[in-house]
């Protein structure tokens, strides 16, 4: 397991970090994004989208749970903020997205923590000392 911590001092710094992080992805990754409301999970998702060469703006999929984008790798972006039950989560069939060789990004993944596989990459974003700063922790199994 490896743990990396990054401090950013603006939304654009978080987005740039995410863009670089995306360059390390090869497809088939499940990335769990955690952190409170407004922490910056979607900012990271937008940066990962840019890093994967997605041309559209990655937006929050809260109302439909999952949006799909085409880039260097396909990006599947889910947001489980409104998920009511484990059954609803199972019904989304996220395994199928991984089988398609894309990158699956899940906001509010802590809601289904116990259901995610051991190879999940966990990224947590938490507030820093001032309103524009954040701490990003990346935990990769290996
Ligand atoms: N260093 C920073 N990194 C990321 N976002 C920051 C930073 N500083 C301030 N912000 C602001 O924090 C907010 C993060 O919003 P974002 O929608 O990404 O949060 P979220 O974690 O996805 O929230 P939600 O749980 O509602 O989906 C934005 O308004 C952004 O401008
Ligand atoms: Mg969000």
Domain ranges of the chain: 26-126
CB 5, CB 133: distance < 8 Å:
no
Tell me, what's the pLDDT at 139? 98
Residues with CB under 6 A from ligand 1: 8, 10-11, 13-14, 35, 37-43, 60, 81, 107, 132-134
Tell me, what's the pLDDT at 112? 94
Tell me, what's the pLDDT at 34? 98
Tell me, what's the pLDDT at 61? 83
- How many other CB atoms sit within 10 Å of the CB of residue 7? 13
Tell me, what's the pLDDT at 35? 98
In 3D space, the residue among 62, 8, 83 whose CA is nearest the CA of residue 40 turns out to be 8
For residue 57, give the DSSP letter: P
Q: Whose CA is nearest to atom 30 of ligand 1?
A: 11
- How many other CB atoms sit within 10 Å of the CB of residue 69? 23
Can you give the pTM of this predicted structure?
Answer: 0.97
Dump pLDDT digits (tens) for 50-62. 999 999 999 988 7
Tell me, what's the pLDDT at 99? 87
Tell me, what's the pLDDT at 37? 96
Q: Which residues of the chain have pLDDT under 70?
A: none
Q: Whose CA is nearest to atom 25 of ligand 1?
A: 37
Task: Report the alpha-carbon distance of residue 140 to residue 46 in Å, rounded.
Answer: 20
Class of domain 26-126 as given by CATH: alpha beta
């Amino acid at each position: 397991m490896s743990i990396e911590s990054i401090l950013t001092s603006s939304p654009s710094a978080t987005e740039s970090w995410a863009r670089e992080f995306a360059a390390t992805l090869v497809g088939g990754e499940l990335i769990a994004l955690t952190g409170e409301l407004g922490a910056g999970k979607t900012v990271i998702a937008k940066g990962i989208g840019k890093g994967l060469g997605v041309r559209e703006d990655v937006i929050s999929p809260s109302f439909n749970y999952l949006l799909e984008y085409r880039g260097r790798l396909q990006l599947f972006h889910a947001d489980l903020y409104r998920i009511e039950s484990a059954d609803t989560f199972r019904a989304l069939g996220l395994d199928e997205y991984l089988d398609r060789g894309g990158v699956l990004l899940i906001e509010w993944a802590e809601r289904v923590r116990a259901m995610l596989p051991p190879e999940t990459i966990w990224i947590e974003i938490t507030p820093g000392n001032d309103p524009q700063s954040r701490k990003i922790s990346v935990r990769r199994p290996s």
